[in-house]
Amino acid sequence: MKALVVADSDSYLKWAVSRALDLWPAWDVEVVVVANAVTPSPRQRHDAVAGRWRDVEVVSVADVGRIIAGGIDLVLLACRGPLISHLFSTVLADAAHRPVVAAGIPGLWFPPTERGLAFRADVDVMVVHSEREREACQERVTEGSQRWGLASLAAATGYAEPLPDRHVREGALVFAPQALVPRTVADRRRLLDGLIDAARAHPEVAVVVKLRGGDDEAQTHREFASFPHLAEDAGPLPANLQFARGALADHLVHARGLVTVSSTAALEALAAGVPVLIVGDFGVDEENLNLVFAGSGLVGTLDDLRALRFFEPRRDWLAANYFHGAQASDWVAHVEALAANPAVLARLRAARPAPQRERGPRAGLGRARRRAQALGAADVWWRRAAMRSLGAAVAVARRRPRSRDTTPSS
């Protein structure tokens, strides 16, 4: 069977490759990045793929349509909500003839958001990453018109046994920053100050801020008050405080611990046997996107950061939160069952509520806004429409008679 995995941003591409590896080699899999508002740069694509897959091509929405028309059994949408909406209204508009469609979120998604679910309401299989996430999604979507498949969000296939001594590693402290949290400039400065204090107190330890993009590179979420920018106003920095790029896995090889507020990087670190510190000074709640870590045993403070204290997770937290056994991952089985049973797939789609049709000028503006959010500068249609409008305006201006008033303008 053939699968097309469509990604848009750097974080979604990293997740897309992980899911492509779930399918391969039983499936013939192609991974592409669709040109959109947050197309990752070549360097971002390189870091996201991290040697796990062959080169990933950047294609247009029209190219995606042509690939699907050539015969595809599964389309996995590793995309942000607005682009998913746009793809359903264009290349996936024919519900009767489209292949099985799956989608997922590349990070921690607990509790699931109504907006995220709404964008993916027409998906046949939603990929989630923990039993807890699956239960929370099923509670919010009660129509029974989707399947909920489980996958692993960690890079490794299993969880390493806890380190006998969490200070046994002598490598770097790796910090995984995020675009959205902490949510205020003041809190982001407090977090940077904690990293600077740790670097000064332990000059023998490299403190690495692992960046995912530069000023000229798009990310899944637009970052405000980036840590490199904040560092410009922080005075002289310790020599052992570094800003670095590259695949996270490469930084974790010799890391003594990973620090974050809520990043999925924490799961990748745990899977690699690296202890973790979830900084809880700004809150452990839905607003800080880290509610799932409550009760994990990983939450600490900025003082723990300064002291280089990292933690191992509670064993009772692991199974329900992202570290289920490999045999529990069943999203591929759900996809294969639907692909092999068109009648079941048709009944599943028929059970969904009919989409609300937008009408009138406001509806047109809404569609245009979502299209702009999805495609940004990659929207060829928008540029052509703008050129047509400009051409029409120029033509009208040329047809207007010239004024006979020869009075010089003031």
Are 112 and 178 in a shared domain?
no
Higher pLDDT, 384 or 293: 293
Residue pLDDT, tens place only, 319-367: 889 999 889 999 999 999 999 999 999 999 998 887 666 667 777 777 7
pLDDT at 410 exceeding the cut of 50: no
What is the pLDDT averaged over residues 375-400?
A: 57
pLDDT at 163: 42
CA distance 124 to 348: 8
User: Per the structure block, which two tokens stand in for 335?
Assistant: 């996809």
Higher pLDDT, 55 or 167: 55
pLDDT at 400: 54
Are 131 and 231 in a shared domain?
no
pLDDT at 66 exceeding the cut of 60: yes
Q: How confident is the model at residue 222 (pLDDT cuts 50, 70, 90)?
A: low
Are 29 and 57 in a shared domain?
yes
Are 288 and 335 in a shared domain?
no
What is the pLDDT averaged over residues 221-242?
A: 90
pLDDT at 187 exceeding the cut of 90: yes
382 part of a folded domain: no
pLDDT at 101: 98
Q: Do 215 and 321 contact (CB within 8 A), yes or no?
A: no
pLDDT at 162: 47
pLDDT at 44: 94
45 part of a folded domain: yes
Tell me the longest C-alpha to C-alpha distance in the chain. Answer: 92
How wide is the angle at C-alpha 196 spanned by C-alphas 194 and 201, nearest 5°? 95
Q: What distance, in Å, lies between the first and last C-alpha atoms of the chain?
A: 73
Q: Lowest mean pLDDT of 85-89, 133-137, 197-201, 392-396, name the range.
A: 392-396
What is the pLDDT averaged over residues 99-128?
A: 96
Nearest CA to 17 among 95, 80, 81, 78?
78
pLDDT at 255 exceeding the cut of 60: yes
Are 139 and 7 in a shared domain?
yes
Average pLDDT, the chain: 88
pLDDT at 389: 47
Are 120 and 199 in a shared domain?
no
Q: Are strands 173-175 and 100-104 parallel, antiparallel or unpaired?
A: unpaired
pLDDT at 378 exceeding the cut of 90: no
CA distance 43 to 28: 26
pLDDT at 20: 98
pLDDT at 353: 82
Residue 337 C-beta-side C-alpha neighbours within 13 Å: 13
pLDDT at 309 exceeding the cut of 80: yes
Q: Lowest mean pLDDT of 174-178, 196-200, 372-376, name the range.
A: 372-376
391 part of a folded domain: no
pLDDT at 215: 67
410 part of a folded domain: no
CA distance 67 to 79: 17
pLDDT at 223: 73
Q: How confident is the model at residue 216 (pLDDT cuts 50, 70, 90)?
A: low
What is the pLDDT averaged over residues 260-288?
A: 96
Identify the top-confidence range among 158-162, 201-205, 390-394: 201-205
Q: How confident is the model at residue 33 (pLDDT cuts 50, 70, 90)?
A: very high
Q: Are strands 57-59 and 28-34 parallel, antiparallel or unpaired?
A: parallel
Are 195 and 314 in a shared domain?
yes
The C-alpha R_g of the chain, in whole angstroms, comes to 24
The number of angstroms, rounded, from the C-alpha of 348 to the middle of its chain's C-alpha atoms is: 27
pLDDT at 243 exceeding the cut of 60: yes
pLDDT at 111: 95
Q: How confident is the model at residue 164 (pLDDT cuts 50, 70, 90)?
A: very low
Are 6 and 146 in a shared domain?
yes
β partners of residue 294: none
112 part of a folded domain: yes
CA distance 39 to 32: 11
Distances (CA, A) of 255 to 17, 299, 318: 24, 18, 21
pLDDT at 361: 75
Are 289 and 338 in a shared domain?
no
pLDDT at 134 exceeding the cut of 90: yes
> Structural domain tally of the chain?
2
- Ranges of H-type helices in 326-379: 331-339, 342-350, 360-375
Are 231 and 210 in a shared domain?
yes
pLDDT at 221: 56
Q: How confident is the model at residue 236 (pLDDT cuts 50, 70, 90)?
A: very high
Task: Find the helix or strand (DSSP H, E) in which 84 lies.
Answer: helix 81-89
180 part of a folded domain: yes
Q: What is the DSSP string of 144-211?
A: --SEEEE---SSSSSPPPPPSSTT---S-EEE---SSSS-SHHHHHHHHHHHHHHHHH-TTS-EEEE-
pLDDT at 323: 93
CA distance 137 to 117: 8
Are 27 and 146 in a shared domain?
yes
Q: How confident is the model at residue 373 (pLDDT cuts 50, 70, 90)?
A: confident
Specify the CATH number for the domain of residue 193.
3.40.50.2000
Query: Which 3 state secondary structure label does DSSP give 135?
Result: helix
CA distance 347 to 111: 28
CA distance 88 to 123: 9
pLDDT at 212: 84
Are 287 and 338 in a shared domain?
no
Residue at a domain's end among 275, 300, 318: 318
116 part of a folded domain: yes
- Amino acid found at 386: A
Residue at a domain's end among 318, 335, 362: 318
Segments forming the whole domain that contains residue 311: 173-318
Q: What is the DSSP string of 233-259?
A: TS-SPPTTEEEE-S-HHHHHTT-SEEE
Query: Which 3 state secondary structure label does DSSP give 16?
Result: helix
385 part of a folded domain: no
Peptide bond into 182 cis (omega under 30): yes
